[in-house]
Amino acid sequence: MQVWRYLSKHVLEPDHPYSLHAMLLKMVYHDWDIDVKGPIPVWIPTAEGIRDTNLAAFMTTFQAEEWQRAKTGNPQADLGLLQRISHSDPEAFWPPVLDHLRIHFHQKPSRILQSASNPDDVRWLPGARLNIAESALCMRDQDAPALLWAEEEAPDHIHALTLGELRLRAQRFAAALRAAGHMPGQAIAIDMPMTVEAVIAYFGIVLAGCAAVSIADSFAPAEIAMRLRISNAAAIVTQDVIGRGDKLHPLYTRVVEAKAPRAVVVPANASAGLQVSLRRGDVSWEDFLKAAPMHGSFQAHVADALDVTNILFSSGTTGEPKAIPWTHVTPIRCGVDGWAHQDVRRGDVVAWPTNLGWMMGPWLLYAALLNGAAVALFQGSPLRRAFGIFVERAQVNVLGLVPSIAKAWRASGCMKGLRWTALRCYSSTGEASAPEDYHWLMARGGYKPVIEICGGTEIGGGFLAGSMLQPQCPSTFSTPTMGSNFVLLPAAGGQSMHGDLTALVGELAVVPPLLGSSQRLLNRDHHSVYYKDMEAVAGTSTPLRRHGDEFERLPNGYYRALGRCDDTMNLGGIKVSSVELERACMEGVPSIMEAAAVGVPAPGGGPEQLVLFLVPRGKREDVATVKRQCQAAIRSKLNPHFKVERVLWRDSLPRTASNKVMRRVLRDELKSHSRL
């Protein structure tokens, strides 16, 4: 490993052909037995790099009794011990972490965790009163940058907003909400790109004691309307249009078509003003803020720790998405993930192309600001060279992405010649990645690790991740996150805990309790969704928490994601059910009598691809034509980002005795053909 570390740091350059990187890696590790040692480590931390991490610094002052008794003094060797204590002894682990994150309590909790036999009845931080937005905005250097941004047309022209300026503008938005009659507990939706105004509105909503309702700006009117109805939103913050390249795409008109409540409308181009006519009662961003005093500090609403700050939605495992409330506790999970795994430090710059409509938007804000870092926002496509220039000029230290972005960069060569010298690590989530793409990505950054993270909206962050203290192998996870625990449930039965080095495949189930994870849903029975029919944690009466992903534990104790256990798939980071996709195609394409949608990994690994098996209503039509029609139907009824990879005609679909479509048979059929 030392030879490879030297070559990767001192010999290989980002612009060397990837074939050279791959050839040297293969030569150095020519005798590496992956069946015994697991996948090849492409990034190996140095002793100095380990010492500089947040976790290594934390280890020097951590006082838990078991820690003091069992630690070795070697941060890399002690990581497993710290991780285990973080879950088994929350009363010892969380107080110093909360101090580091500068969580400001108006009333301190009586303890960290109040236990209960039902995981939905446990209470984190009982008795605490706080406002988590106040902790993010008010407890750090007010002159430090909080937001950096640039437009796609001028990616090297970096704008900045200090933490103090962000706080004042968020307080003013909160005051405007109050002046408009919005009281604590009301839901206020946000449906717009992740701009400075979106961040101001988000924190303003939380400061006011209201709940931000997260709606993605790509949704069709019906999807917007559904989320507004479920959340009972009293108002919505949106944008007139969305600019992509030289094209303008409507957003406000979709919000109006969804019959949204009163809208506060931000102009996409401030100098040009609003490019739409407003409904009666709707108001521009500028006019809405005029109702608030220009000066004077809005006092944050002090809330119970379990009051709702954000209503997010599962990305769709049934027709109606699960409405998942985040409390004032949930963002602490975001903060500790960033601190412990992405190693976000005070003064860092963190970039992650995302949107407040998905959990990674709020996650990014809290993971950065609670750790004293700035958020970098790019107003444009992350797939083009302009984004890479922005990363270079903004001196980004932590760069998050989904695998499809890396795949696009590699295919186009658009990042060639750029030097991301400030970069310390990448991070990836949302979908499975391809090892070769992520080796390329590591090389593109001068051999920086990709910290994979797996979790979900209902977790508030991750339960499985990588670490800057451990060697990193592309497309694998090396450790449970701090404060979490899980087991694998192999098909043969039993439970395999983390730490058992037996290589096996099984469904991953979370061991509760987990700080930040959901304990209720707004439109479903939480216990039925996550705990019904789950076996108990070995040796206890506490049920395991269902997550639904299948994982492989590798010979080195790392993990690889294998996809969903059920009939949902992950397309571009969005979970969607087969039923929804099938319904869209059958309703939108008259020539289809039956449809079965399955997700399969891309050749060589990577994000799932959508394959449609179709039974014709009569004569089989041209496959290319039907594929276009299905794509149009899915784009119109569900999401424009869902791509149909293949369409296959069949005379009939395989079914069970009870007439259920056996999609697993179709998936296995595709996999067997791919091996031929």
CA distances from 441 to 98, 528, 650 (A): 34, 41, 39
Residue 139 lies in a domain: no
Rounded CA gap, 27 and 531, in Å?
48
- Residue 224 in any domain: the answer is yes
CA dist 66 and 62 (Å) reads 10
The answer on 540 and 394 residing in a single domain is yes
- Whether 353 has a pLDDT exceeding 60, the answer reads yes
HEC secondary structure over 111-133:
CCEECCCCHHHCEECCCCEECHH
- Residue 197 falls inside a structural domain: yes
More confident residue, 389 or 672: 389
CATH of the domain at 599: 3.30.300.30
pLDDT of 386 strictly over 90: yes
Poorest-confidence range of 186-195, 288-297, 528-537?
288-297
pLDDT at 331 (0 to 100): 99
Structure confidence by residue, pLDDT tens digits, 90-104: 999 999 999 999 999
Q: How many domains does the chain have?
A: 3
108/345 Cα distance (integer angstroms): 25
Confidence of residue 676 (pLDDT cuts 50, 70, 90): very low
| Confidence (pLDDT) at 404 | 85
Is the pLDDT reported for residue 87 higher than 50?
yes
Question: Is residue 167 domain-shared with residue 194, that is, in the same domain?
Answer: yes
At residue 656, the pLDDT reads 57
In-domain check, residue 137: no
**pLDDT of 317:** 40
Residue 470 counted as domain residue: yes
Residue-wise pLDDT tens digits, 104-143 = 999 999 999 999 999 999 999 999 999 999 999 999 999 9
Q: Summarize the confidence of residues 635-639 as an average pLDDT.
A: 86
- Residue of 283, 295, 282, 262 whose CA lies nearest to 175: 295
Q: Is the bond preceding residue 513 a cis peptide, omega within 30 degrees?
A: yes
DSSP of 420-462: -TT--EEEE-SS---HHHHHHHHHHTTS--EEEEEEETTTTEE
pLDDT band at 13 (very low <50, low <70, confident <90, very high): very high
Domain boundary residue, one of 498, 525, 560 = 560
In this prediction, residue 301 has a pLDDT band, given cuts at 50, 70 and 90, of: very high
- Max distance between CA atoms of the chain, in angstroms, equals 74
- pLDDT category at 318 given cuts 50, 70, 90 is very low
Cβ atoms within 10 Å of 151's Cβ, excluding its own: 15
Give the model's pLDDT for residue 667: 86
Please tell me the predicted confidence (pLDDT) of residue 216: 94
Torsion of CA 396, 401, 404, 409, to 10 degrees: 0
pLDDT of the residue at 632: 95
Q: Is residue 430 part of a domain?
A: yes
Neighbours of 442 (CB within 10 A): 23
Domain of 467, CATH number, reads: 3.40.50.12780
What pLDDT is recorded for position 71? 98
DSSP calls for 586-641 = HHH-TTEEEEEEEEEEPTTS-SEEEEEEEEESSSPPPHHHHHHHHHHHHHHHT-TT
Check residue 672 and report its DSSP letter: H
User: Looking at the structure, do residues 324 and 348 belong to the same domain, yes or no?
Assistant: no
Distance CA 137, CA 372 (A): 10
Q: Are residues 175 and 290 in the same domain?
A: yes
Tokens 């791959």, residue located: 22
Q: Quickly state the pLDDT bin for 315 (edges 50, 70, 90).
A: low
Residue 569 phi, psi dihedral angles, 5° rounding: -140, 170
pLDDT of residue 186: 99
User: What percentage of residues in the chain have a pLDDT greater than 90?
Assistant: 81
CATH number at residue 244: 3.40.50.980
pLDDT of residue 535 exceeding 70: yes
Could you give the CA distance from residue 578 to residue 571 in angstroms, rounded to a whole number? 11
Q: What does the DSSP 8-state code read for residue 15?
A: T
Task: For residues 27-36, give the mean pLDDT.
Answer: 95
> Quick one: 578 and 515 in the same domain?
no
Residue 450: is its pLDDT beyond 50?
A: yes
CB atoms within 10 A of CB 249: 14
What tokens appear for 490 in the block? 């192999």
What pLDDT shows up at residue 660? Answer: 64
CA dihedral (78, 341, 95, 333) in degrees, to 10, reads: -140
What pLDDT does 176 receive?
97
Residues 527 and 633 reside in one and the same domain = no
> What DSSP string describes 42-106?
SB---HHHHHTSHHHHHHTT---HHHHHH--S-HHHHHHHHHHHHHH-HHHHHHHHHHHTT--EE
Q: What local confidence, expressed as pLDDT, does residue 546 receive?
A: 95
Evaluate whether residue 140 is within a structural domain: no
Is the pLDDT assigned to residue 319 strictly greater than 60? yes
pLDDT at 12 exceeding the cut of 50? yes
User: Is there a single domain that holds both residue 334 and residue 310?
Assistant: no
Q: Tokens for 328?
A: 């004032």
Buried b (16+ CB within 10 A) or exposed e, 397-418: bbbbbbbbbbbbbbeeebbeeb
Mean pLDDT across 364-379 = 99
Last residue of a domain, one of 511, 534, 560: 560
Q: For 316-328, what is the mean pLDDT?
A: 82
Task: For residues 297 and 313, state if they share a domain.
Answer: yes
Interval 453-498: pLDDT, tens: 999 999 999 999 999 999 999 999 999 999 999 999 998 899 999 9
Rg (CA), the chain: 25
Residues 556 and 416 reside in one and the same domain: yes
Q: What angle do CA 432, 551, 118 make, to 5 degrees?
A: 115
243 and 349 in a single domain? The answer is no
Beta pairing class for 608-616 and 644-649 = parallel
Mean pLDDT over each residue of the chain, to the nearest integer: 94
Closest CA to 137 of 74, 86, 200: 200
Residue 80 domain-assigned? yes
Expressed as residue numbers, the domain containing 210 is: 163-328
Query: Distance of alpha carbon 313 from its chain centroid, rounded?
Result: 12
- The gap between the terminal CA atoms of the chain, to the nearest Å, is 35
Tell me: do 322 and 364 sit in the same domain.
Answer: no
- Among 523, 538, 560, the domain-final residue is 560
Residue from 203, 195, 182 nearest 132 by CA: 203
Answer yes or no: do 231 and 95 share one domain: no
Q: What is the pLDDT of residue 659?
A: 56
